[in-house]
Amino acid sequence: MKTAFAAAWSVAATVALAAPPDLAALSDANFVDTGDALADIVSQSGLALSTMSMWNAGLDQAGPMRAAFQLKTRSGPTHRFTLPCPGGGSAIGTIRDADGSGDLSRRDTFVTEFDHCMTDGETATGRGEFTVAAHRFEGHVEITELDFRFDAMGTPSLRWTGTAHLTLRSDLHRGTEVYTVRYRDLAVQGAGRDMHWNFTLELVRPPIGDTVVALNGPLSIGPMPLRLRQDWRFVMRAQGLPRDGQLTAIDTQGARLEIEAGRRVYAYRFYQAGNGGWMPDASSQSRRQTAP
């Protein structure tokens, strides 16, 4: 009986050790890959506010909205044009001026279709559009709200399908711009991962100095639901890489992962559920680059 019990225990222990990690929760087996996925989101956000980066890449660097409405060759409420991309291919734009005013106003729509648009060594394809939900002035602050819809839009490293809402507050006296993006179950594919974004991203860009970025709210990476909490904001260099800041991701069991932007690399610290102290259960460094 003892021998049979011991054999059964041995088999059970072997199966337990060989069992794959729970992909729906943070663990010491997956926290590095999870950290890399979140670091990619941070870097993409800093490059050009994630949601807007493809428009800025394919269109005027001063911003697609103003560039689109400053075109002098428009005729009628709908205008279609093609712009070459820096490395080949093109971005095809369609402007629908809802009220025919020639100014940015509610219900105006801007559609972009990328035809193998090569920018920064990557090829952008897919379709995206935004509709102006609101445009107004509050004193010296210009406020623009945009509803986005993406259809397999992006590059092989990051591709979006779904919707988002963006609010841009431009301080016309100070020159500061504040972008707030609320992702609405946006399906994102990148680096072999399927993600769904429902978090809020805020980016503050002053006329001089570093940009700061904060991410808060839920997202899922594969079957793993997480909640993001910005402990202190990421400070971004001009090239879109953070040099400071920390983000914490928390799973449904209470395990957490801290992602800190250090000099040149990210530091990852994993805390199992129930570990409320300062000593992590595991730690590592990412090969993802940060700003020096």
Q: What is the mean pLDDT of each run of 10 residues along the chain (292 residues)?
A: 33 36 84 92 58 41 40 61 85 84 81 84 86 92 91 84 91 92 89 88 90 94 96 84 93 97 92 94 88 75
What pLDDT shows up at residue 84? 85
Number of domains in the chain: 1
Q: Is residue 115 part of a domain?
A: yes
3-state DSSP call for residue 240?
coil
Between CA 290 and CA 72 the distance in angstroms is 41
What pLDDT shows up at residue 227? 98
In terms of Cβ atoms closer than 10 Å to its own Cβ (0-12, 13-18, 19+), residue 94 is middle
Between CA 262 and CA 28 the distance in angstroms is 21
What pLDDT shows up at residue 104? 74
Q: Is residue 246 part of a domain?
A: yes
Q: Is residue 219 part of a domain?
A: yes
What pLDDT shows up at residue 47? 38
What pLDDT shows up at residue 192? 77
Range of the domain at 35: 26-289
What pLDDT shows up at residue 263? 82
In sequence order, which residues have a C-beta less than 8 Å from that of residue 210 and are 6 or more positions away?
A: 235, 236, 237, 243
Go through the chain and tell me how many residues it has. 292
Between CA 242 and CA 176 the distance in angstroms is 19
Q: Is residue 4 part of a domain?
A: no
Q: Is residue 166 part of a domain?
A: yes
pTM for the whole thing?
0.79
Q: Is residue 20 part of a domain?
A: no
CB 170 within 8 A of CB 142: yes
